[in-house]
Amino acid sequence: MDQLQQLFPQVGPVPFPGAYLAHNLRQATRQPSQPFVYANFVASLDGRIAVPAADGRGLTVPKQTANERDWRLYQELAAQADLIISSGRYLRDWAAGRAQEILQVDDPRFADLRAWRQERGLKPQPDIAIISGSLRFPIPEVLTAGGRKVVVFTTAQPDPDRVREIEDQAGRVFVVGEERVEGGRLARQMAELGYETVYSAAGPQIVHLLLAANVLDRLYLTHASRLLGGVPFASIVEGPLFAQAVDMRLNTLYFDPAGLDGLGQLFVSYERV
């Protein structure tokens, strides 16, 4: 059987497909009136999670770090969610043909994850939350298929015409911040809507707003054993200095010797303190 080498908290082999399903995120302890919120990134050793896209339009996950085995664990994290957070940028990329479904339940490689959700009475797809100040994004029809809900979180005094358009087409719009979406208000609103297990698949600005409000419970990082260099690039967190450093405690650590065609990679998770 395919395996990872667990290095913390115990040492020993663990089965590879299934390593993150075994984290049982739907049973994780939540803070009162908040969902359990987790995020995930694959990063190069020099901390790059996104580099300029080949077509020169914006940033994208580097092809040198993206890999099948990381993608499998990403899917295992997404499969456990009842809400996935994404951004206005994601929908703009989707419209431009540069983004794909986050949880790929229609891919035969992940048929087991579809079955896993079904066994637990979950819809094939988690609902999707879009965080956007601009509200400038198209909503692809596929996003609202199969009973999936779209929830949009934005800032004060949104354009009422745009709100009506989004609500007619897709889902509800909630104001959860003044100038910027604020993590505490976002988390409370998600809880009020009944969401308990929330995966942030978005990028460094959204992780920043979650960390600034102390509502990110778990951070998953894949360290691909490669360095890329170059500017510009995105790292896992982007935004102003935190008033206080955010402390995280090591939760699990696995070495994947087969990752990146035998180069190897580390799968690490950290828990909020």
Instruction: List residues near ligand NAP by CB under 6 A.
Output: 41-42, 49-50, 59-61, 87-90, 131-134, 136-137, 155, 180-181, 202-206, 209, 234
Return the amino acid letter for 130: I
Minimum CB separation of residue 235 from ligand NAP in Å reads: 9
Minimum CB separation of residue 195 from ligand NAP in Å reads: 18
Q: Pairing relation of β-strands 36-44 and 51-52?
A: unpaired
What CA–CA distance (Å, rounded) separates 62 from 99? 14
Nearer to ligand NAP, 141 or 179 (CB): 179
Minimum CB separation of residue 12 from ligand NAP in Å reads: 27
What CA–CA distance (Å, rounded) separates 181 from 183? 7
Nearer to ligand NAP, 28 or 59 (CB): 59
Distance separating the N- and C-terminal Cα atoms of the chain: 35
Nearer to ligand NAP, 88 or 259 (CB): 88
Minimum CB separation of residue 114 from ligand NAP in Å reads: 23
Nearer to ligand NAP, 137 or 267 (CB): 137
- Note whether 173 and 154 are within 8 A (CB): yes
Minimum CB separation of residue 153 from ligand NAP in Å reads: 8
Nearer to ligand NAP, 14 or 228 (CB): 228
Token couple for 197: 């297990």
| Cis bond upstream, residue 9 (ω within 30) | yes
Nearer to ligand NAP, 123 or 165 (CB): 165
User: Which has the closest alpha carbon to 85: 144, 151, 145?
Assistant: 151
Minimum CB separation of residue 238 from ligand NAP in Å reads: 6
- Note whether 59 and 234 are within 8 A (CB): yes
| C-alpha pair distances (Å), 45 with each of 23, 72, 85, 197 | 25, 20, 26, 29
